Structure 1
Amino acid sequence: MEVQNCCKQEHQVVILMVPLPAQGHLNQLLHFSLHISTQFKLPVHFAGSSTHNRQAKTRLHGWSSQYLNNIHFHDFKLPPYNCPAPKPDPLVPFPAHLQPLFDSIDHLREPIYELIQELSTKFYRVVVIHDTGMASVVQDVKSIPNAENYAFLTISAFTLSAMNQEQFLDLDSDIPNSLPSMDGCFTPEILKYFEKQHKFFGFESGRICNTSRLIEGKFVEYLEKLSRNSEKKFFPIGPLNPIQIERTDDENYIQKWLEKHEKDSVLYVSFGSTTSMTDEQITELALGLERSGVKFLWVLRNADNGDIFSPSKIGNYQDCDRGCNNVSWGLNYRLLEGYEERVKERGMVIREWVSQLEILAHPSIGGFMSHCGWNSCIESISMGVPIATWPMHSDQPRNAVLITDVLKIGIQVKDWARRAELVSSSMICNVVVRLMVSDEGKEMRKRAQELADRVRASVAKDGVFRKEMASFISHITRL
Structure 2
Amino acid sequence: MEEKQKVSILVVPFPAQGHLNQLLHFSLLLSSRGFPVHYASTPTHVLQAKSRVQGWNPSSLHSIHFHSLPIPPYPNPPPDQNSIIKFPSHLFPSFEAFINIRAPLSSLLQTLSSASTRLVIVHDPLSSFAGKEAESLPNTESYNFQCLSALYGLTFPQISESTAKLLRAHDWVLPANDICITEEFLDFADRNSHDNNERESGMIINTCMELEGEFLELRRQELDYKGKKLFAIGPINPVVIRGGGHRHECLNWLDKQPDGSVLYLSFGSTTTPSEDQVEQLAIGIVQSRQRFIWVLRSADRGNIFAEEAKETGYKLPAGFDKEVEGRGIVIRDWAPQLDILAHKSTGLFMSHCGWNSCMESLSMGVPIAAWPEHSDQPVNALLVTKYLKVGVMVREWDRREEIVAAKDIEEAINKVLVYDEGKEIKQRARDLGEAVRGEVMDGGSSRAELDLFIDHITR
The TM-score bracket by the shorter chain reads over 0.9
Question: 2:172: which partner in 1?
Answer: 177
1:310 is aligned to 2:306: yes
Post-superposition Cα deviations, 1:405-444, rounded to whole Å, max 9, x if no partner, equal 1000010011111100111111111111112111111111
CA contact (8 A) 1:389 1:411 kept: yes
Q: Letter of the aligned partner of 1:464 in structure 2?
A: S
Question: 2:201: which partner in 1?
Answer: 205
Q: Distance in 2 between matches of 1:50 and 1:472?
A: 29
Describe how 1:22-421 pairs up with structure 2 within 5 A: 22-38=16-32, 40-163=33-156, 164=159, 166-171=161-166, 175-202=170-197, 203-226=199-222, 230-249=226-245, 251-314=247-310, 329=311, 331-421=312-402
Q: Distance in 1 between matches of 2:376 and 2:224?
A: 25
Q: Distance in 2 between matches of 1:229 and 1:471?
A: 17
Report the alpha carbon displacement of residue 461 of structure 1 after superposing the two structures with TM. 2.1
Specify whether residues 198 and 58 from structure 1 end up closer, same or farther in structure 2 by C-alpha distance, changes over 3 A only: closer
Bigger drift between 174-183 and 451-460 goes to: 174-183
Q: Distance in 2 between matches of 1:301 and 1:229?
A: 40
Post-superposition Cα deviations, 1:350-377, rounded to whole Å, max 9, x if no partner, equal 1010111100011111000000000000
Specify whether residues 382 and 395 from structure 1 end up closer, same or farther in structure 2 by C-alpha distance, changes over 3 A only: same
Q: Distance in 2 between matches of 1:259 and 1:227?
A: 50
Report the alpha carbon displacement of residue 380 of structure 1 after superposing the two structures with TM. 0.3
Q: Distance in 1 between matches of 2:84 and 2:38?
A: 40
CA contact (8 A) 1:205 1:232 kept: yes
CA contact (8 A) 1:47 1:76 kept: yes
Runs of 5+ consecutive residues of structure 2 not aligned to the other structure: none
Q: Distance in 1 between matches of 2:292 and 2:80?
A: 26
Report the alpha carbon displacement of residue 173 of structure 1 after superposing the two structures with TM. 7.2
Bigger drift between 77-86 and 340-349 goes to: 340-349
Q: Letter of the aligned partner of 2:101 in structure 1?
A: L
Percent sequence identity is: 44
CA contact (8 A) 1:33 1:71 kept: yes
CA contact (8 A) 2:313 2:332 kept: no
Question: 1:326: which partner in 2?
Answer: none
Q: Distance in 1 between matches of 2:24 and 2:432?
A: 25
Q: Please, what TM-score do these two structures have when normalized by structure 2? A: 0.95
Specify whether residues 13 and 433 from structure 1 end up closer, same or farther in structure 2 by C-alpha distance, changes over 3 A only: same
CA contact (8 A) 2:5 2:35 kept: no
Report the alpha carbon displacement of residue 54 of structure 1 after superposing the two structures with TM. 0.8
Bigger drift between 108-117 and 223-232 goes to: 223-232
Specify whether residues 194 and 251 from structure 1 end up closer, same or farther in structure 2 by C-alpha distance, changes over 3 A only: closer
Q: Letter of the aligned partner of 1:42 in structure 2?
A: F
Q: Distance in 2 between matches of 1:250 and 1:108?
A: 33
Report the alpha carbon displacement of residue 379 of structure 1 after superposing the two structures with TM. 0.3
Q: Distance in 2 between matches of 1:45 and 1:407?
A: 36
2:437 equivalent among 456, 459, 470:
456
CA contact (8 A) 1:169 1:177 kept: no
CA contact (8 A) 1:90 1:419 kept: no
Report the alpha carbon displacement of residue 196 of structure 1 after superposing the two structures with TM. 0.2
Q: Letter of the aligned partner of 1:49 in structure 2?
A: T
Q: Letter of the aligned partner of 2:338 in structure 1?
A: L
Q: Please, what TM-score do these two structures have when normalized by structure 1? A: 0.91
Bigger drift between 88-97 and 356-365 goes to: 88-97
Specify whether residues 248 and 375 from structure 1 end up closer, same or farther in structure 2 by C-alpha distance, changes over 3 A only: farther
Question: 2:415: which partner in 1?
Answer: 434
CA contact (8 A) 2:233 2:440 kept: no
Q: Letter of the aligned partner of 1:395 in structure 2?
A: D
Bigger drift between 10-19 and 433-442 goes to: 10-19
Post-superposition Cα deviations, 1:420-479, rounded to whole Å, max 9, x if no partner, equal 01111111111111121111111111001101111222222232222111000111111x
Q: Distance in 1 between matches of 2:366 and 2:5?
A: 44
Post-superposition Cα deviations, 1:116-169, rounded to whole Å, max 9, x if no partner, equal 111111111110000011113542111111111111111001111234254224
Report the alpha carbon displacement of residue 183 of structure 1 after superposing the two structures with TM. 4.0
Q: Letter of the aligned partner of 1:453 in structure 2?
A: E
Q: Distance in 2 between matches of 1:25 and 1:308?
A: 15
Specify whether residues 382 and 42 from structure 1 end up closer, same or farther in structure 2 by C-alpha distance, changes over 3 A only: same
Q: Distance in 1 between matches of 2:169 and 2:391?
A: 14
* SS, match of residue 408 in structure 2: helix
Q: Letter of the aligned partner of 1:181 in structure 2?
A: A
Q: Distance in 1 between matches of 2:247 and 2:138?
A: 51
Q: Letter of the aligned partner of 2:171 in structure 1?
A: P
Post-superposition Cα deviations, 1:191-241, rounded to whole Å, max 9, x if no partner, equal 111010134322211111101111111111111122686322111111000
Q: Letter of the aligned partner of 1:200 in structure 2?
A: D
* SS, match of residue 298 in structure 1: strand
Bigger drift between 168-177 and 58-67 goes to: 168-177
Report the alpha carbon displacement of residue 172 of structure 1 after superposing the two structures with TM. 6.6
Give aligned pairs, total. Answer: 456
